[in-house]
């Protein structure tokens, strides 16, 4: 995705931009995930193999009554993210309630926008190279027009720009492909972007999948990135289904050439959450096409984010 950067509260923060053109969807009925387990506590089983050899180095459990701004930068802007998004990001739409971080999207006229929502990041505050980065998230109904995302961006973006800094999209939902296929509650993707523009293009890889069950069912679902010297791999509900295959995997060892992926994913990245409204990723560029908020505000709830490293 293309990116534009703005300064917010003395922190340079990235503007996330559309990558829908680079999706490589699997066949409609395909899946990279096993069946749903009956467990619904939304908490990872830290005794499972994928945590062995790792130590918890940072986490936010969102147990207080307010966001810790020593850990997070809350973004405030209405620039459309470079994606023709329709929301204005406001600090008031980012709250901590009942043990969860909550991003709220709603119909609200504000500074020329017809919707408001929330976005925040850990730029220059918490950033990591390799490890297990995972978050338990309760997603809103995205149809039609919401675009929730959990992702990472290279902490050096202010020095080298985008996409040289590298970007890892752990979760995105709301893509136009899911809308058109009628799989809004199961269609999601992971992606990586890196390199630099040459002849109007840059290297990237994105992959969409259909989960075997709704991940907009009102339950918390765990999204896990396992990132090491060899690859980035992403998993859905790895805590409930320990044998699940990754829905996204990309090797990152190649360093042969300026565009080689291995030159861009072995340095610090920070964490971003946002709940966009409309934009090119969704295929909805006009407020009249947004139906997800017709019955009231929508909430993306994050129970926790945890980072483990060896």
pLDDT category of residue 20 using cuts at 50, 70 and 90: very low
* 147-168 residue pLDDT tens: 999 999 999 988 999 999 999 9
- Whether residue 19 is predicted with pLDDT greater than 60 in this model: the reply is no
For residues 91-108, give the mean pLDDT: 98
**Domains of the chain, residue spans:** 4-309
CATH number of 4-309: 2.60.120.200
pTM, to two decimals: 0.86
pLDDT category of residue 49 using cuts at 50, 70 and 90: confident
To the query of whether residue 172 is one of the catalytic residues in this protein, the response is yes
To the query of whether residue 185 is one of the catalytic residues in this protein, the response is no
d(CA 152, CA 190): 11
| CA dist 258 → 34, 59, 206, 243, 304 (Å) | 38, 34, 20, 36, 37
| CA dist 114 → 87, 106, 183, 212, 305 (Å) | 7, 9, 26, 34, 30
d(CA 14, CA 35): 36
Q: Are 101 and 60 in contact (CB under 8 A)?
A: yes
* 258-271 residue pLDDT tens: 999 999 999 999 99
Given the residues 75, 108, 134, 172, select the one marked as catalytic: 172
Question: What is the per-residue pLDDT for 81?
Answer: 87
70 in helix, strand or coil? coil
Given the residues 85, 108, 134, 167, select the one marked as catalytic: 167
For residues 291-301, give the mean pLDDT: 98
d(CA 61, CA 254): 36
Phi, psi angles (nearest 5°) of residue 20 = -65, -25
Query: Which residues are CB-contacts of 199 (< 8 A; sequence separation ≥ 6)?
Result: none
Size (the chain), residues: 310
Q: Are 266 and 131 in contact (CB under 8 A)?
A: no
d(CA 228, CA 271): 17
């Amino acid at each position: 995705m293309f990116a534009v950067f703005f300064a917010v509260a003395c922190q340079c923060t990235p503007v996330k931009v559309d990558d829908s053109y680079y999706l490589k969807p699997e066949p409609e009925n395909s899946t990279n995930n096993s069946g749903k387990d009956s467990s619904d506590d939304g908490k990872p089983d830290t005794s499972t193999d994928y945590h062995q050899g790792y130590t918890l180095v940072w986490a936010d459990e969102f147990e207080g009554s307010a966001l810790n701004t020593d850990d997070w930068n809350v973004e405030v802007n209405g620039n459309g993210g470079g994606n023709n998004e329709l929301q204005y990001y406001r600090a008031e739409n980012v709250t901590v309630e009942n043990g969860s971080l909550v991003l709220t999207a709603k119909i609200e006229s504000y500074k020329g926008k017809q919707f408001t929502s929330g976005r925040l990041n850990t730029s220059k505050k918490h950033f990591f190279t390799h490890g297990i980065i995972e978050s338990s998230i309760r997603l809103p109904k995205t149809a039609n027009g919401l675009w929730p995302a959990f992702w990472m961006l290279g902490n050096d973006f202010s020095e080298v720009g985008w996409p040289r800094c590298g970007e890892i999209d752990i979760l995105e939902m709301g893509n136009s492909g899911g809308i058109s296929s009628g799989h809004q509650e199961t269609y999601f993707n992971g992606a990586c972007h890196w390199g630099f523009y040459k002849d109007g293009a840059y290297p990237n890889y994105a992959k969409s999948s259909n989960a075997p069950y709704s991940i907009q069912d009102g339950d918390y679902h765990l999204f896990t990135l396992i990132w090491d010297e060899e690859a980035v791999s992403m998993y859905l509900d790895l805590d409930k289904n320990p044998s699940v295959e990754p829905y996204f995997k990309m090797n990152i060892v190649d360093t042969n050439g300026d565009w080689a992926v291995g030159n861009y994913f072995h340095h610090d990245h920070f964490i971003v959450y946002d709940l966009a409204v409309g934009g090119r990723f969704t295929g909805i560029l006009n407020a009249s096409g947004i139906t997800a908020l017709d019955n009231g505000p929508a909430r993306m709830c994050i129970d926790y984010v945890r980072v483990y490293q060896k």
